[in-house]
Amino acid sequence: MVVGGGMSGLTAAVEAAEIGAEVYIVEKRPFLGGRVAQVNQYFPKLCPPNCGLEINFQRIKKNPKINFITNSEVEGISGEEGNFNVTVKTHPRYVNDNCTACGKCVEACPTERENDFNFGMDKTSAIYLPHEFSMPMRYVIDGDVCKGTSCNKCVEACPYNAIDLNMEAKNTVFNVGSIVWAAGWNPYDAENISYYGFGQYADVVNNVMMERLAAPNGPTKGKIVRPSDGKEIENIAFIQCAGSRDENHLHCCSSVCCLASLKHATYVREQYPDAKITIYFIDIRARGKFEDFYNKVESEIGLNFIKGKPGEVKLDNENGKLIVHSEDQLTQTVTDEKYDMVVLATGMAPVTRKSKVPANINYDEDGFVASDSGMPGIYAAGCVKHPMDVASCVRDATSAAMKAFQSAVRGQDNG
Amino acid sequence: MDKKIGLYICTGCGLEEALDINALTAVGNEEKVAVCKTCQQLCSKEGKELIKQDIENGEVNAVAIAGCSFRVNYDVFDFGPEILVERINLREHVVWTHTPNNEDTQMMAEDYIRMGMAKLKRMELPEPYVPEEEVVKTIMVVGGGLTGMTAALESAKAGYKTVLVEKENKLGGWAANLYKMAPVTEPFTEIADNYIPDIIKEIEANSNITVYTSSKVITTEGAPGMFYVTINQGSKEISEKVGSIVQATGAKPYEPENLGHLGYGKSDKVITQAMFEEMAKNGKLSGVEKIAFIQCAGSRDENHLPYCSAACCVESLKQSLAFKGINPKGIVYIFYRDIRSAGQYEHFYEKAQESGVNFIKYAEIDDVAENSGKMVITLDDVILGEKVEASDFDLVVLANGMVSTASFGEEMVEESEEDEKQDSESQESIANKPPVIQADILNLQYRQGPEIPILKHGFPDSNYICFPYETRRTGIYTAGSVRAPMDLLETREDATGAALKAVQCVENVSVGMALHPRSGDLSFPEFNMNRCTQCKRCTEECPFGAINEDEKANPLPNPTRCRRCGVCMGACPERIISFKNYNVPMVGNMIKNIEIPEEDEEKPRILIFACENDAIPALDMAGINKYSYNAWVRIIPVRCLGSLNLIWINDAMSKGFDGVLLMGCKHGEDYQCHFMKGSELAEYRLSKVSETLDRLGLESERVKATQVTIMDYDKIPQMIEDFTEEIDELGPNPMKDFQ
């Protein structure tokens, strides 16, 4: 069983299935693809994540050994390596297999919801397709806002009897030989870093919101503008290590944020040839061949680097600009620069920081699953284990699939 | 077996509202299908049952579904391995993107039905490739360092026989010489004793693993499932037959002789990281009171190694702490540019800071010199913003980075390139090949060279972020620092993943299935050798080096190396290469089956060849978003644009098409083609067809190649519109009259 249908989970599942293992993917959200589905482009190639997801989805579609269930969470694990019983709770989707994604329901739906796919920066109807590349290609109803049978308009509009507003949550028990825990990460909650003004000032965004702002299928159709008033950007700042490498927040380095901000700088530069782009940093961590990307971005697009960790972001009430208060270690001065927009390079908080695995396994001080989970047959993969970039997740997930396969082999030997 | 085609037209998802379904049925009947039925929702249980019944009654053995894209409901319309299925996309490509109840939309739908029929008539069920000889599942690992040992152990633990080849007289590699090891587990703060001997013991105790030390691979012949490897061990020659290979030959430290500007060679107090380990191990650090580490000695330097070596920061942190362990009062300075202790190694960095290690950020090291028996470092201090001298060091350790073992050797020059220097076309085509460096590691007996092609900076890495185990040589996987700079933690994960890929290869090859990206595909290219003219295009252009050549330049295909992209089929001027379910006549007949209106009807026709991997999904997304585009186009999906055979352009032009548009993946640096250079090859071939078109009196602008990504769905309508305008300006194809 693979828990999590993001890049790590999908990889672990297809790689294991392609050596002959039977695989169940359990995904919490209503679609597979995870966080990378919300990313506009990958560094360093600046290519679209949907390209690789498409290939993996084709591999899943064509492989009868892979089963997946969305809207589902693991509630309990019992047993041992080779013979685990996993209880999975599936939340109601309110839309069944009959759905053809024709879209008639959306025309009928009178209720709106915040679009979590775009981090609340726009709205969808209560019945919605998570996104264009959604797998499964099927609508889903947000049970928190849907008025249910008292409205019933979508049910009447659907030509295929695909909507069942009385659908209920159900529990299923799966017997599996091993478990890959690839639940992934959440952006570190920037509201915890109160002095940066996230949640307080609309123009302070985090780096995952930046992905949506730059994405052609995002809330602004890919145009990067100030969230507060839709104005164009003249002056933008990126604050690195916002919540990472910090004894009050995540202690670790989140590994990807330096490169992500360099990538975001390319997004901004493409749309604004004259905008001033500033990056506040401690170290620029462009390891290995990513150094090429760092050099390329630095030499080609013109960036202003300030070595220092800002102490505060304030709003200038007169002109609506943001003031970043920081030391500049190079000039040994304190600066108060003004920006139209500030992007916080918030790090990766493992999902297990808040939602633990329902089994007795080990974690580190930030909540990452320990390299050795401490329980044979349960293997963490990807960003729930170490903060890492996409290619590293794929390698790690492939390695976890191997470990999980070996558990099954051992199970056979013992049984 | 006679083909009995059943055409099933779905009327749901807006098809019925937008199209004259009876007219579509009539087209089916004209095509003499065995059964032609309509259904309100084919993907429903009833719809599927309708088809199943016809199959069970023996009325139908090939199914055409006219409805949604093949990208959805794949599993719903799977009727088992004996039944051919063709999906005719009337939803995303027709009714969701074109004006309902319109003559042009209707003509488009009818053409797609005709094309689907033509395709199905030329398709056969693929039969898996089963080699005449036995397929073996043994895994060979080349390189007995940490990566290689891990790969061998992991393969063995999964139940596979493993052969481990190491050139030195003992296992362990570079890591065996380390005094202490950086942490690879929580809390990531403690240095560990060298655990390599434990791993060696584990290998020795594992009966699945055969170890050859003091050994070298002389030649590797054959293909996945049946590689014949000759190993030289001293005076002995050993033969092994293996199924797949992990290349884990690691990296070498950057040559310190090149670091004279950092004092190496001028004073014996300037040493490398490896020399530090040896001194520490042999107790030679006593008496050393003050030590300096210079980071990026050679790395991140365009005159030396342009890349970051990824492991040196953590290694220097470890050496600092190891030194502190030997001499707790010792003074340590690390001169760095950025401390790159990524992820949880941040804890290790903190530990070093807490232990009193001093960190100085430099912009430039100006000089490292000896003065009265002590070392003096002159540097540009970033924080102080001035030149400073740091002195009194007993030892200066250069963190001298790593260089892939695959990068040592001469770059291979193809014979044909030398022979045909005059032939500019041929030279151009070969010029874009990834370099193969003759590093004397695997010595592959491949027509395209003896080693894995290099991606960049001498590392045979994958070009793909999402698929890091792609090496361009099927069944051979690079792992560890040979493929990219990485630390010990990453190395072990990488090795385990590579072991899985090696296992996956032998398992799939043994049942005739393709590996990623066409995982599970059973079709493979068949060569009709009678008509081969020994032109070598297929052997040169195969992105995976799957085709060898005999001395007369006849192609010798190795189907288990093949990834089923069809580049060879596109390359072949004699059209002798075909797949059971994908071939030149099949697409030719699809083109011929499209109805071209007379010139005076003023309905131009444009043929689009679109890559199945990115362009087709993008076209589908245009449909999902209901973006409308010109109804003059007809789309044919191709496995890869590289499988495009030029005869199809001829077919289209002589049929009376007014233009042909190719939609493929980005090529050049950071290419996106899943088969390396398919889209690039298609464009290259196009440059040749334009001369032919000119001769025929057709403007070469009628055929155009474009690059699209999967996210370009919002731009596609405009791209099509621009091209149709260009074609409109050229006027109708004069060949129309000769139909």
DSSP string, A176-235: ES-EEE---EEE--GGGSGGG-BTTBTTEEEHHHHHHHHSTTSTTTT----TTT-PPPSE
The predicted structure's pLDDT at residue A62: 92
CA pair distance B642, B209, nearest whole angstrom: 41
pLDDT of the residue at A413: 67
- Minimal Cβ distance to A252: which of B343, B508, B625: B343
With a cut of 80, say whether residue B427 has pLDDT above it. no
> B146, B150, B157, B340: which to substitute to probe chain A, counting the most A Cβ within 10 Å?
B340
Mean pLDDT over B291-318 rounds to 98
Find out whether B150 and B492 touch, Cβ atoms under 8 Å. yes
* Distance between B404 CA and the closest CA of chain A, angstroms: 12
Average pLDDT estimate for B380-386: 93
Residue B738: per-residue pLDDT: 62
What is the per-residue pLDDT for B418? 47
Residues B126 and B513: beta-carbon distance below 8 Å: no
Is A395 within 8 Å of B490 when comparing Cβ atoms? yes
Query: CB of A3 within 8 A of CB of A179?
Result: yes
Q: What is the CATH number of domain B139-252+405-509?
A: 3.50.50.60
Could you tell me the pLDDT band of residue B688, with boundaries at 50, 70 and 90? confident
Confidence of residue B736 (pLDDT cuts 50, 70, 90): confident
- As a whole number of angstroms, the distance between CA A71 and CA A134 comes to 13
Query: Is the CB of B499 less than 8 angstroms away from the CB of A402?
Result: yes
Peptide bond just before B187 cis, omega within 30 deg: yes
The reply to whether residue A307 touches residue B382, judged by beta carbons under 8 angstroms, is: yes
Beta-bridge partners for B29: none
Least confident among B62-66, B603-607, B666-670: B666-670
Partners of A379 on chain B (C-beta within 8 Å) are none
Place of tokens 């005449």: B132
Question: Is residue B1 predicted with pLDDT exceeding 80?
Answer: no
Range list of β-strands (E), A262-380: 276-281, 304-307, 312-316, 321-328, 333-339, 341-346, 348-350, 378-380
Give the integer Cα–Cα distance in Å for B90 and B94.
Answer: 5
CATH 3.40.50.920 residue window(s) in chain B: 1-125
Note the pLDDT of residue B2: 86
pLDDT (average), residues B709-738: 92
What average pLDDT does this structure show over B452-474?
97
Mutant choice from B711, B712, B714 vs A, greatest count of A C-beta within 10 A = B711
Both tokens of residue B413? 């020059």
Cβ atoms within 10 Å of A64's Cβ, excluding its own:
11
* Residue B681: closest CA among B582, B606, B571: B571
Q: Which residue has the higher pLDDT, A225 or B694?
A: A225
Rounded distance, CA A177 to CA A305, Å?
50
**Nearest partner of B582 among B174, B205, B177, B120, judged by Cα:** B120
Of residues B415, B458, B440, the one with CA closest to residue B551: B415
> Does B17 reach chain A within 8 Å, measured CB to CB?
no
Do the chains contact at B500 and A42, CB–CB below 8 Å?
no
Look at residue B207 and tell me whether its pLDDT is greater than 50.
Answer: yes
The model's confidence at residue B739, banded by pLDDT at 50, 70 and 90, is low
Contact A387 B342 (CB under 8 A): yes
Collapse the DSSP code of B307 into the 3-class scheme (helix H, G, I; strand E, B; otherwise coil) and give the result: coil
CB contact under 8 A, A330 and B382: yes
d(CA B411, CA B435): 7
Asked, as a colleague might, if the bond just before A159 is cis with ω within 30 of 0, I would say: no
Q: Is B195 on the interface with A (CB under 8 A)?
A: no
CA angle in degrees (0–180, nearest 5) for B581-B586-B591: 145
A47 contacts B465? CB cut-off 8 A: yes
Tell me the pairing of strands B162-165 and B209-212. parallel
Per CB-CB distance under 8 Å, the chain B contacts of A404 are: none
pLDDT at B428 over 80: no
CB contact under 8 A, A52 and B338: no
In DSSP terms, which residues pair with A181 in a beta bridge? A3, A380
Q: What is the pTM of this model?
A: 0.96
Task: Please name the residues between 655 and 674 in chain B that touch chain A, using a CB distance below 8 Å.
Answer: 666, 670, 672, 674
Dist CA B498 CA B490 (whole Å): 12
Chain B residue with the nearest C-alpha to that of A399: B497
Partners of B462 on chain A (C-beta within 8 Å) are 391
**B421 has pLDDT over 60:** no
**Interchain contact B508–A (C-beta under 8 A):** yes
pLDDT in tens, B170-195: 999 999 999 999 999 999 999 999 99
- What six digits make up the tokens of B31? 């095509």
Q: How far apart are CA A186 and CA A303, in angstroms?
A: 28
- From residue A261, alpha-carbon distances to A239, A255, A326, A334 in Å are 9, 12, 18, 23
B360 touches chain A (CB under 8 A): no
CB atoms under 10 Å from CB of B189, counted, come to: 17
Chain B nearest-CA distance from A320, in A, is 33
* C-alpha–C-alpha distance, residues A137 and A34, integer Å: 15
What is the CATH code of the structural domain delimited by A2-91+169-186+349-414? 3.50.50.60
**Is B717 at the interface with chain A, CB within 8 A?**
no
Level-2 CATH architecture, domain B1-125: 3-Layer(aba) Sandwich (3.40)
Contact B613 A395 (CB under 8 A): no
Decide the pairing of beta strands A23-26 and A66-69: parallel
- φ/ψ (deg, to 5) at B18: -105, -20
Question: What is the side-by-side order of every strand in the sheet holding B226-233?
Answer: B215-223, B226-233, B236-242
End-to-end CA distance of chain B: give it in Å, rounded.
33
pLDDT at B432 over 70: no
Which amino acid type is present at position A103?
A: G
CA distance B398 to chain A (A): 18
Q: Which residues pair with A346 in a beta bridge?
A: A242
Asked if B709 reaches chain A (Cβ–Cβ under 8 Å), the answer is yes
Residues of chain B with CATH 3.30.70.20: 526-578
Fold of domain B255-400 = FAD/NAD(P)-binding domain (3.50.50)
Cβ of residue B89 closer than 8 Å to a chain A Cβ: no
The upper half-sphere exposure of residue B689, i.e. CA atoms within 13 Å in the direction of its Cβ, equals 26
Distance from CA of A196 to the nearest CA of B (A): 23
Q: How confident is the model at residue B422 (pLDDT cuts 50, 70, 90)?
A: very low
Token digits of residue B218:
């002389």
Strand pairing category for A378-380 and A179-181: parallel
Dist CA B243 CA B230 (whole Å): 14
Q: What is the domain partition of chain A in residue ranges? A: 2-91+169-186+349-414, 104-157, 189-346
Inter-chain CB proximity A394 and B672 less than 8 Å? no
Peptide bond into B573 cis (omega under 30): no
Rounded to a whole number, what is the distance in angstroms from the first to the last CA of chain A? 19
Q: Is CATH 3.90.600.10 what the domain over B526-578 is classified as, yes or no? A: no
The residue among A281, A245, A274, A234 whose CA lies nearest residue A260 is A281
DSSP A130: S
pLDDT in tens, B233-274: 999 999 999 999 999 999 999 999 999 999 999 999 999 999
ipTM exceeds 0.90, yes or no? yes
Cβ-contact B525, B179 below 8 angstroms: no
What average pLDDT does the segment B481-498 reach?
97
Task: Give the sign of the dihedral formed by CA A207, CA A210, CA A214, CA A219.
Answer: positive
Query: Which residues of chain A lie closer than 8 angstroms to B515, CB-CB?
Result: 18
- Using CA atoms, how far residue A138 sits from A31, A99, B34, B655, in Å, is 9, 6, 33, 40
Give B415's pLDDT tier (boundaries 50, 70, 90): low
Please name the member of A45, A255, A291 whose beta carbon is closest to the beta carbon of B306: A291
Q: CA B456 to CA A292: how far, in whole Å?
A: 10
Q: Residue B217 pairs with which residues in a beta bridge?
A: B231
CATH classification code of B582-739: 3.40.50
pLDDT score of A151 = 97
Write the single-letter amino acid at B287.
G
Q: Give B737's pLDDT tier (boundaries 50, 70, 90).
A: low
B505 and A CB contact within 8 Å: no
Q: What percent of chain B has pLDDT over 70?
A: 97
| Sole residue written with tokens 């027509």 | B447
Instruction: Determine whether the interchain pair B484/A52 forms a contact, defined as Cβ–Cβ distance below 8 Å.
Output: no
- pLDDT, mean of residues B511-526: 96
| Cα→Cα distances A179→A73, A74, A80, A192, Å | 13, 11, 10, 32
Q: Hey, do A2-91+169-186+349-414 and A189-346 end up sharing a CATH topology, with the first three levels equal?
A: yes
Residue-level pLDDT at A414: 62
pLDDT over 80 (residue B727): yes
- Residue ranges of chain B that CATH labels 3.50.50.60: 139-252+405-509, 255-400
**Cα(B20)–Cα(A189) distance, integer angstroms:** 55
Q: Residue B143 in contact with residue B248, Cβ under 8 Å?
A: yes
Residue B395 to residues B179, B276, B586: CA-CA distances in angstroms?
A: 17, 9, 72
User: What element of type H or E holds B321?
Assistant: helix B312-326
Contact A216/B714, CB-based, under 8 Å? yes
How many CB atoms are closer than 10 A to CB B599?
Answer: 16
Dig out the tokens for B279 from the structure.
């001194």
Q: What is the residue whose two structure tokens read 């149709």?
A: B724
Using CB atoms and an 8 Å cut-off, which of residues 119-158 of chain B contact chain A?
154, 157-158
Given a contact cutoff of 8 angstroms between Cβ atoms, the answer to whether A176 and A1 are in contact is yes
List the CATH code of the domain at A189-346.
3.50.50.60
Q: What is the pLDDT of residue A76?
A: 98
When mean pLDDT is compared across A123-127, A272-276, B112-116, B685-689, the lowest value belongs to B685-689
* pLDDT tens-place values along chain A, 415 residues long: 999 999 999 999 999 999 999 999 999 999 999 999 999 999 999 999 999 999 999 999 999 999 999 999 999 999 999 999 999 999 999 999 999 999 999 999 999 999 999 999 999 999 999 999 999 999 999 999 999 999 999 999 999 999 999 999 999 999 999 999 999 999 999 999 999 999 999 999 999 999 999 999 999 999 999 999 999 999 999 999 999 999 999 999 999 999 999 999 999 999 999 999 999 999 999 999 999 999 999 999 999 999 999 999 999 999 999 999 999 999 999 999 999 999 999 999 999 999 999 999 999 999 999 999 999 999 999 999 999 999 999 999 999 999 999 998 887 766 4
Q: Which of A284, A289, A296 to mutate to test the interface with B (most CBs of B within 10 A)?
A: A289
Q: Which two tokens stand for residue B432?
A: 């874009």
**pLDDT score of B538:** 96
Phi/psi for B274 (5° steps) reads -65, -40
Amino acid identity at B312: C
Q: Is B414 on the interface with A (CB under 8 A)?
A: no
User: What was the pLDDT predicted at B430?
Assistant: 46
- What is the residue type of B465? I
